[in-house]
A and B are shown apart, each in its own frame.
Chain A
Amino acid sequence: MTGVARRFASKAARHLADLADSGSDRPGGITRVVGVDTVVPDADLGGVKFVRADIRTPVIGKVIAVEDVDTVVHLDVNPPARGRLGGTSTKELNVIGTMQLLAACQRASTVTKLVLGSSTAVYGTSPRDPALFHESMAARGGVRTGFPKDAVEVESYTRGFARRRPDVIITTLRAAQALDVDLEMPLSMYLRNPVLPVVAGYDPRLQFAHVEDLLNVVEQAVTHDRPGTFNVAGDGVLMLSQAARRLGRPIIPLPSLGYASALTRIARAGGSDIPPDLHRLLKYGRAVDTSALREIFGYEPKYSTAEVFEQFRQQVRPGILAGIGER
């Protein structure tokens, strides 16, 4: 498993390691979890064996060969975050890391399964978007820069890998942003600001996924054979204005022109960081269709978007307007 220094990947690694401890004798069961990252994770990895390796270098090939890896879970495709790497380094880690990893996998005959943790960012965000994205749809705009472009490139390399190694089962999970105080996802960082700058005249539809659902989906993808691409998100949508009201945080409508820089400045002043591609999402929003996850993958998300948000609301400090409406 790659990127275990990140919160979600370390959680997923621990989740899988716990499974390995509990029942490794089951068919398709997990015997050992090896976590790979460039930095030592700050969280306790439990039963996960940590190997410090950079997936941007051919070292990763050796790790796969030495540890006799049969399933690669690539969760190291992440939006840039403060305190880790800058924008260009993140891009390098996302794209070059994926290329090296896939090259290593192609060489390693032991690898039979690849689980790619992608993002719904591959659909981009634009006014020409349909209401709900299906897995077969491509982005109609908004993937020219930043993390969405990374995600699109990573997926295209993965498709190339699939052509070259048709025997490997590839599961691509396009996850909506998880909303949890433990995870440094862009939207959860944005929603923790005391005031929420929004684009005047736009009210985007947002979708969130629950960490538990994401962990379960990764687990099922590892333990069962589920080839294909699947969207993972909670049911329903939440408008940004609605989310702000539920949190009790005041919104600041800003003109569309210059919104991106204003957003970054306000977020910095509030002590958090906003990736540069978030402003598009906060303008047009995005929602995905999860029927393939239910019908083909066979997983029913436990939490709807509203329920995910409600849990998040209870975790964070109430906003200054939270008194309105007896909340």
Chain B
Amino acid sequence: MVDERKQIGSGGQAGRGNRQVSPSSAARSLAGPAAAKKPKAAAKKAAPAKRAAAKRPAPKKAVSKSPTATAAKKSAAKKPAAKKTAPKATPTADEPKVQTPQAEQVKRPHLRAVTDDDAAAAAAAAAQEAERRTRSATAPIPAGIPLDDIVAALLGAFQRVMGSDWETRLATLLHTIRKRLSGEYEVDEFGLDPAIVTVLENAIEPIAEKWFRLEVRGVENIPTDGGALLVANHSGTVPIDGLMTGYAVHKHTDRHLRPLGADLVFSLPFVGQIARKMGATLACTEDAERLLTTGELAAVWPEGFKGIGKPFTERYKLQRFGRGGFVSSAMRAQVPIVPVSIVGAEEIYPLVGNVPSLARLLGLPYLPITPFFPLLGPLGMIPLPSKWIIEFGEPIRTDAYEPEAADDPMLLFNVTDQVRETIQQTLYRLLVDRGNAFF
């Protein structure tokens, strides 16, 4: 090791290489251009130093900004602290070995390269010093921002983001999260979870207002208390119209809409779970009558899959309204029927094709092909931004009939047709009012 050092190392002498071959001037001139490149690197190093230095008191700024060697030297002379941190400037044991070449080089003709070298060293030292300063500024030392100020600033930011009552709001939020995690919340017999409904409403709101530009008419026709059965047309390949109707009802009357869905909804994973928590239940007479007699707002889409899965060419043509079961439920519960006409849902996913064989394999009523769906993949699942109008029509009273009239099929067919015709005529009127579907 020692021998190697004798041969290879500089042995504490100036210059590159070993002692046997002292660095020639040619070698130095060769090293010159390389050294000349250094200032650029030094400048780069100085740049962060400058930035860092901006945080320091003013006199130091001027020091670190000065690009020339003389200024750097001056700063080194001015500040012993900077000198100490800079390895090349410190008066340690290594000091002479490093500084002697500088002294020698000063005497040599390649003055430019040497000064640049020196400037780079000084700038690096300044940068290191600045870095050290800024690092220590975050710690609670007297030189940094006081902790109280930081806390005050954070509190101010909270207030600005969450409003003046942020403390109570944050407490409420934490309380809600705690309650959710501990299971300390109530669901009703149907599985309606009010917290989930609120979250969903907030998620739907921008879609309804900004994407679909939803216009709601005739909200005064929704009873503010007591049961009622909302009957709507169904369309759009995916039952988004149900979500939108629920949103519109809750926004304008602050009542929860209880959608009655097909059994397929409840057999699908995740979909069925969310539907139950939203307050949906199976479209069967028992559930409908239970909801209506307990004074809830129930909604049915009697067209079912025939309506939602009809081709785009048949848009806004109402299909058969089931078997009129909804009328008998409303009559037994003696609640009014509110016809609801939804315009806009037909255009969100124009159904241009169907794959019946694959649908049968998957156990679905239809497998939609829209102009974008399988073609663009997941992008095709974004609904088209059609303009929506939901109109709640004048309620059709059923309390004029006896509850036993629910067993009279002819009466049921007549009332069903009346509801259907009302919705169909309203649809035509709304279509004229809306004009273009998208603009």
A residues whose Cβ falls under 8 Å from a Cβ of B: 127-132, 134, 137, 199-203, 205, 236-239, 241-246, 256, 284, 287, 306, 324-327
The answer to whether A134 touches B286, judged by C-beta atoms less than 8 angstroms apart, is yes
The answer to whether A131 touches B190, judged by C-beta atoms less than 8 angstroms apart, is yes
B420 within 8 A of A: no
Inter-chain CA distance A129–B284, complex, in Å, is 9
Contacts of A202 in B (CB 8 A): 269, 272-273
Contacts of A137 in B (CB 8 A): 286
B276 within 8 A of A: yes
B394 within 8 A of A: no
Q: Closest approach, in angstroms, between the C-beta of A208 and any C-beta of chain B?
A: 14
Residue of A whose beta carbon sits closest to that of B282 = A130
Q: Closest approach, in angstroms, between the C-beta of A176 and any C-beta of chain B?
A: 13
The answer to whether A201 touches B269, judged by C-beta atoms less than 8 angstroms apart, is yes
Q: Closest approach, in angstroms, between the C-beta of A18 and any C-beta of chain B?
A: 35
A127-B263, A128-B263, A245-B181 are known contacts. Are A203 and B277 too (CB-CB below 8 A)? yes
12 contacts between A and B (CB under 8 A): A127-B272, A127-B282, A128-B284, A130-B287, A132-B287, A201-B268, A201-B269, A201-B273, A239-B193, A242-B185, A243-B183, A324-B182
Contacts of A134 in B (CB 8 A): 286
The answer to whether B269 touches A236, judged by C-beta atoms less than 8 angstroms apart, is no
Inter-chain CA distance A326–B288, complex, in Å, is 40
Task: Give the interface centre of B179, B180, B269 by most chain A CB atoms within 10 Å.
Answer: B269
The answer to whether B282 touches A325, judged by C-beta atoms less than 8 angstroms apart, is no
The answer to whether A246 touches B184, judged by C-beta atoms less than 8 angstroms apart, is yes
Interface residues of B in 186-207 (CB under 8 A from A): 186-191, 193
The answer to whether B284 touches A130, judged by C-beta atoms less than 8 angstroms apart, is yes
B267 within 8 A of A: yes
Q: Closest approach, in angstroms, between the C-beta of A314 and any C-beta of chain B?
A: 14
Inter-chain CA distance A158–B271, complex, in Å, is 40
A202-B272, A324-B182 are known contacts. Are A131 and B290 too (CB-CB below 8 A)? yes
Q: Closest approach, in angstroms, between the C-beta of B394 and any C-beta of chain A?
A: 30
A239-B187, A327-B182 are known contacts. Are A127 and B290 too (CB-CB below 8 A)? no
A-B pairs under 8 A by CB, number: 91
Inter-chain CA distance A200–B272, complex, in Å, is 11
Contacts of B281 in A (CB 8 A): 130-131
Residue of B whose beta carbon sits closest to that of A241 = B183
Residue of B whose beta carbon sits closest to that of A306 = B186
The answer to whether A245 touches B277, judged by C-beta atoms less than 8 angstroms apart, is no
A130-B281, A325-B181, A325-B184 are known contacts. Are A203 and B269 too (CB-CB below 8 A)? no
Residue of B whose beta carbon sits closest to that of A132 = B189
Among B184, B189, B267, B287, contact of A127 (Cβ-Cβ < 8 Å): B267
Among A131, A238, A245, contact of B282 (Cβ-Cβ < 8 Å): A131
B residues whose Cβ falls under 8 Å from a Cβ of A: 178-191, 193, 263-264, 266-273, 276-277, 281-282, 284, 286-287, 290
Inter-chain CA distance A246–B186, complex, in Å, is 12
Contacts of B191 in A (CB 8 A): 131, 203, 205, 237, 239
Contacts of B277 in A (CB 8 A): 203
Residue of B whose beta carbon sits closest to that of A247 = B183
Contacts of A132 in B (CB 8 A): 189, 286-287, 290
A127-B272, A325-B181, A326-B178 are known contacts. Are A236 and B189 too (CB-CB below 8 A)? yes
The answer to whether A325 touches B273, judged by C-beta atoms less than 8 angstroms apart, is no
Residue of B whose beta carbon sits closest to that of A284 = B266
Inter-chain CA distance A239–B282, complex, in Å, is 17
Residue of A whose beta carbon sits closest to that of B264 = A127
Inter-chain CA distance A205–B193, complex, in Å, is 12
Residue of A whose beta carbon sits closest to that of B267 = A127
Residue of B whose beta carbon sits closest to that of A246 = B183
The answer to whether A199 touches B272, judged by C-beta atoms less than 8 angstroms apart, is no
Inter-chain CA distance A181–B84, complex, in Å, is 74
A130-B286, A131-B282 are known contacts. Are A203 and B276 too (CB-CB below 8 A)? yes
Inter-chain CA distance A200–B273, complex, in Å, is 10
The answer to whether B282 touches A129, judged by C-beta atoms less than 8 angstroms apart, is yes
Inter-chain CA distance A244–B269, complex, in Å, is 19
Among B180, B183, B276, contact of A205 (Cβ-Cβ < 8 Å): B276
Contacts of B270 in A (CB 8 A): 200-201
Q: Closest approach, in angstroms, between the C-beta of B179 and any C-beta of chain A?
A: 7
Contacts of A128 in B (CB 8 A): 263, 266-267, 282, 284
Q: Closest approach, in angstroms, between the C-beta of B328 and any C-beta of chain A?
A: 16
The answer to whether B276 touches A245, judged by C-beta atoms less than 8 angstroms apart, is no
Q: Closest approach, in angstroms, between the C-beta of B363 and any C-beta of chain A?
A: 11
A132-B290, A205-B276, A242-B187 are known contacts. Are A127 and B182 too (CB-CB below 8 A)? no
The answer to whether A245 touches B272, judged by C-beta atoms less than 8 angstroms apart, is no
Inter-chain CA distance A114–B178, complex, in Å, is 49
The answer to whether A237 touches B187, judged by C-beta atoms less than 8 angstroms apart, is yes
The answer to whether B263 touches A325, judged by C-beta atoms less than 8 angstroms apart, is no
Contacts of B264 in A (CB 8 A): 127
By Cβ-Cβ distance, the 3 closest A-B pairs, closest first, are A201-B269, A325-B182, A245-B183
The answer to whether B189 touches A203, judged by C-beta atoms less than 8 angstroms apart, is no
